[in-house]
Structure 1
Amino acid sequence: MPSNKLLQLAHDLMFSLVHGNGLVYNTCWEDPRLDRELLGLKPDSRVVVITSAGDNALDYLLDTPASVDCVDVNHRQNALLELKRALFTQADFETLFAFFGDGGGEGCAAAYQELREHLPQYAAAFWDRNVGYFKPGGLARSFYYRGASGALAWIFARFLSVFKPGLRLGIQHLLAATTMEEQRELFARLEPVMWGPFSRWLVGSTSIMALMGVPRPQAALIKAKHPGGMEGFIRDKVRRVFTELPVADNYFWRVYCHGRYTRECCPEYLKQANFEPIRTRLASLRVHTNTPSGFLHANPGPYTHFVLLDHQDWMAWHAPKVLSEEWRLILASATPGAKVLLRSAGLDASFVPSEARARLRFFPELTEPLHDRDRVGTYGSQHLAEVL
């Protein structure tokens, strides 16, 4: 078997093992500020969203939609959202922030025992085994260095601590910058030091891409669409995030660099002013362990909004028939004028099947300017479609 075929199989196997056997995402890696601006949720909105870590679904509740159905085939992701829900309903803001703002603390294990009975059985079973994720100390030090994506952040943080302490200190200064001029000056000094043999290994490794949640088709798409390949893509994205956007509210990068949020720089669901509004609206949030197609087949709607993240990149390569069926069910379950929000590693929406595109109107005039304001900065494109 050719060596490149073996590498492809190894990547696919690693991705399947990572995603089928553990928590992958410990925080959402999509900017909900952009989502909420594009979606325009209203009191009669009925939203279907892929759960991921559940952060953005909680943020959507601030716009008072009628319902938010969170769907994920990985029950561990849903268990994470259910723990957050239980902290809202059974604990107080300080306890919630200890878990998911600080990434853990001495009182988290005891607090978990008090709210455990309010979790669904599958979620309680998961957290019974893994509540240690929130135990302070040890090598990981934080919940945000747990799970697949957290493990990658931990590897990078440890590398900086041991081999490049000066770069680690420089990144801390960069995250503390107060002006764009200061950010650009600091980044210009740091960028040459960032990219060496280790960082090139990180972005070229099959195992590391799997930990990041990047399936082989997405990696191939990036390499094909970007002139600098994977390394050039990531370099350009990191440069844009740190030289074109203020870091003061960029909690996405801060949490993986520091292992925790601050009260000022965190997701909306972790802000004290939003605790009661979200708590009072949690009855409209439902959680389902299923594929999007399986969920829509069992719960045909109608729905006004679909937030599909980037999972269709993978489906377009590996399961085009499944992708077509998913779109058939989306369109059958959508109200006229329903909005569909997607992200992609590629630069366009060519992954959407032609039969679905015939029923959709896209709005690049809205998404392209907003994409430039994306605080995450790691996607190739973002797309908003309206069902005709």
Structure 2
Amino acid sequence: MKQQPKLTQRLQDAFFGLVYRNRLIYNTCWEDPRLDRRLLGLTSASRVAVITSAGDNALDYLLDDPAQVDCVDLNFRQNALLELKRGLFLHGTFEELFSFFGDGGGPNCAAIYARIRKHLPAYAAAYWDDNIGYFKAGRLSRSFYYHGASGVVAFAFSRLLGLIKPRVRREIPRLLAARTPDEQRRAYAAIEPAFWDRLSRWLVGRPELMALLGVPQPQIRLIRDSHPGGLEGFVRDKVRQVFTEVPMAENYFWRVYMTGRYTRECCPEYLKEANFAVIRERLPRLFIHTESLSDLLGRKKGFYSHIVLLDHQDWLAHHNPQALAEEWDGIFAAAAPQAKLLMRSAGLDVSFVPDAARQRLRFLPELTQPLHAADRVGTYGSQHLAVVG
């Protein structure tokens, strides 16, 4: 007989579901597209399926000139975010795009939105009619990147630092400005002891906080079970790796949550002026679908040369193994011969992939493992590239 989950586990899963169903979760992608593009090797013949998230990485993929990119997400808010970005590319200027998503908002954003609104799908326009204030200058948060579930955590964290850890807050600009590895390590060494106190360790262990960051309970359990230091040790080790081994001058992922904005030099590729015209010209190849990945794949038999799964199979493996098995059936049906699949996991191996699926895949750890240490995000336990046999 299948063991029923404990009450606390059911409550935590319910809280995650409540957050996911009712909020924008990701206001920026939390996967490093520089690694994606090196591993995927997209060409003009490539047809890509990717989970939308915030849409940043899908826009970056267009720089590699693929034939088609299909973005899919069950959360319509994530797709509405990508639609707003597409609208700004097609009907705005680079400076207007950067005002929204580089600066995180400004005094002209409401007027710009009013001008391009008619070009958005009805569902996206309805969402932004209610939430365009996320980009309003002068609000308490002062940035779009402090809205949505993950943004709320980043905002609360930055304000908490200012109130109870002023020393840490004062050192952050020095860390962000570091130009050499030694300078960066010294800056982090000054921060780490003050940062990892009892309160920080307690917060890291809260499943409610992790739910707001888009991390479900099964993924938390996977981290606790696979990492020697548990969840706290995992987070601490990953943060240390990012801030001491990866150059801060190019780490826009952590910069935006620390400061609420990007700079012209430290930002995603889609926000660089040199790439604006290229992405705009290729946007007709990008399609957005509000449905499950399985539903999308079910209509595309033998179509995709590349499928980017992010880390959602961690959740399915623990929460709904039947849905995971059905998704793999759909993946194999929709994959073209020798299709590449890119996955990430909170765990350290591919145990989240069902045995039957693993038998049909050829994994390429010789490519993924050396690159994993260069991941500018540093929040995943592992990444995996597989070829469909």
Structure 1 contact 10–206 (Cα < 8 Å) conserved: no
Structure 1 contact 34–370 (Cα < 8 Å) conserved: yes
Aligned equivalent of 1:168: 169
Structure 2 contact 87–116 (Cα < 8 Å) conserved: yes
Give deviations 1:218-241, integer Å, cap 9, x for gaps.
000000111111110000000001
Separation in structure 1 between the aligned mates of residue 138 and residue 224 of structure 2, nearest angstrom:
39
Aligned equivalent of 1:329: 330
Aligned equivalent of 1:354: 355
SS at match of 2:267: coil
SS at match of 1:73: coil
Matched, 1:342 2:343: yes
SS at match of 2:236: helix
Separation in structure 2 between the aligned mates of residue 136 and residue 7 of structure 1, nearest angstrom:
40
Aligned equivalent of 1:152: 153
Show the 5 A alignment for 1:94-105: 94-105=95-106
Separation in structure 2 between the aligned mates of residue 349 and residue 171 of structure 1, nearest angstrom:
36
Count of residues paired in the alignment: 385
Matched, 1:262 2:251: no
SS at match of 1:248: helix
Letter in 2 for 1:53: A
Aligned equivalent of 1:123: 124
Structure 2: 5+ residue stretches without partners: none
Matched, 1:76 2:77: yes
Aligned equivalent of 1:92: 93
Separation in structure 2 between the aligned mates of residue 181 and residue 200 of structure 1, nearest angstrom:
27
Aligned equivalent of 1:279: 280
SS at match of 1:355: helix
Separation in structure 2 between the aligned mates of residue 246 and residue 304 of structure 1, nearest angstrom:
32
Aligned equivalent of 1:297: 298
Aligned equivalent of 2:388: 387
Separation in structure 2 between the aligned mates of residue 300 and residue 266 of structure 1, nearest angstrom:
36
Matched, 1:61 2:62: yes
Aligned equivalent of 2:110: 109
Separation in structure 1 between the aligned mates of residue 327 and residue 303 of structure 2, nearest angstrom:
15
Separation in structure 2 between the aligned mates of residue 132 and residue 109 of structure 1, nearest angstrom:
8
Give deviations 1:257-282, integer Å, cap 9, x for gaps.
00000000000000000000000000
Structure 1: 5+ residue stretches without partners: none
Shift of 1:10: 2.2
Give deviations 1:86-132, integer Å, cap 9, x for gaps.
00000000000000000000000000000001000100000000000
Moved over 6 A (4+): none
Separation in structure 2 between the aligned mates of residue 326 and residue 111 of structure 1, nearest angstrom:
40
Separation in structure 1 between the aligned mates of residue 167 and residue 107 of structure 2, nearest angstrom:
31
Separation in structure 2 between the aligned mates of residue 204 and residue 7 of structure 1, nearest angstrom:
14
Separation in structure 1 between the aligned mates of residue 35 and residue 207 of structure 2, nearest angstrom:
30
Matched, 1:194 2:195: yes
Letter in 2 for 1:380: G
Separation in structure 2 between the aligned mates of residue 343 and residue 75 of structure 1, nearest angstrom:
23
Separation in structure 2 between the aligned mates of residue 141 and residue 226 of structure 1, nearest angstrom:
37
Separation in structure 1 between the aligned mates of residue 285 and residue 375 of structure 2, nearest angstrom:
28
Structure 1 contact 371–381 (Cα < 8 Å) conserved: yes
Aligned equivalent of 1:246: 247
Question: 198-207 vs 77-86, which deviates more?
Answer: 198-207
Structure 2 contact 302–337 (Cα < 8 Å) conserved: no
What's the TM-score, normalizing by structure 2? 0.98
Separation in structure 2 between the aligned mates of residue 29 and residue 59 of structure 1, nearest angstrom:
13
Shift of 1:6: 2.9
Matched, 1:374 2:375: yes
CA pair 382-295 structure 1, distance change in 2 beyond 3 A: same
Letter in 1 for 2:366: E
Letter in 1 for 2:6: K
Shift of 1:245: 1.2
Separation in structure 2 between the aligned mates of residue 138 and residue 79 of structure 1, nearest angstrom:
22
Aligned equivalent of 1:224: 225
Shift of 1:182: 0.5
Shift of 1:197: 2.4
SS at match of 1:342: strand
Separation in structure 2 between the aligned mates of residue 12 and residue 220 of structure 1, nearest angstrom:
12
Matched, 1:212 2:213: yes
Percent of residue pairs bearing the same amino acid type: 65
Separation in structure 1 between the aligned mates of residue 113 and residue 219 of structure 2, nearest angstrom:
37
Structure 2 contact 298–334 (Cα < 8 Å) conserved: no
Question: 188-197 vs 92-101, which deviates more?
Answer: 188-197
SS at match of 1:339: strand
Shift of 1:354: 1.1
SS at match of 1:38: helix
Letter in 1 for 2:50: V
Structure 2 contact 372–383 (Cα < 8 Å) conserved: yes
Separation in structure 2 between the aligned mates of residue 217 and residue 269 of structure 1, nearest angstrom:
32
Letter in 2 for 1:338: A
Aligned equivalent of 2:9: 8
SS at match of 1:286: strand
Letter in 1 for 2:121: P
